[in-house]
Amino acid sequence: MGNVVHRNADQPKPAIEAESSSNLSGLKILVAEDNEINQNLIRAVLENLNLDITLAENGQVALDLRKKQPFDLILMDIQMPVMGGIEATKAILEYEEAEGVPHIPIVALTANALQGDREKYLR
């Protein structure tokens, strides 16, 4: 018999159910993050899901890596030295369009939680 999960109606459904995480095994994730503590935390969590992780310490390195190899997902910090996440995201999107290569989803990683930040980053 299958597992039964009980949750209140007002509780959000998890984006990924625990038992389906095996379906993610082997996905290639590019993580653009300059903070070493955050890098280690993200790596530990994602490697626990059997994901293939590549770290970039800034947006320029992330852009260079994107041009050299395909990834299934990019996790992009917003504030980094050399090239920030917003600038790197725009450059990656421009590269993908100019080269006609498949778009890789980019998810922002940020501690910025002020009202309006989300909308600003989605532009």
What's the length of the chain? 123
Q: What is the pLDDT at residue 16? A: 46
Whole-prediction pTM: 0.75
The CA distance from 104 to 28, in Å, is 11
| DSSP β-ladder status, 106-109 and 52-56 | unpaired
Q: Which of 95, 96, 104, 90 is nearest to 59 (CA)?
A: 90
Q: For position 1, what pLDDT does the model report? A: 43
User: What is the assigned CATH class of domain 25-122?
Assistant: alpha beta
How much is the pLDDT for 109? 86
Q: How many whole angstroms separate alpha carbon 122 and alpha carbon 118?
A: 6
pLDDT at 15: 46
Q: Could you state, in chain order, the average pLDDT of each consecutive group of 10 residues for the chain (123 residues)?
A: 46 49 83 96 94 97 97 96 96 97 92 58 55
Residue-range domain boundaries for the chain: 25-122
How much is the pLDDT for 24? 80
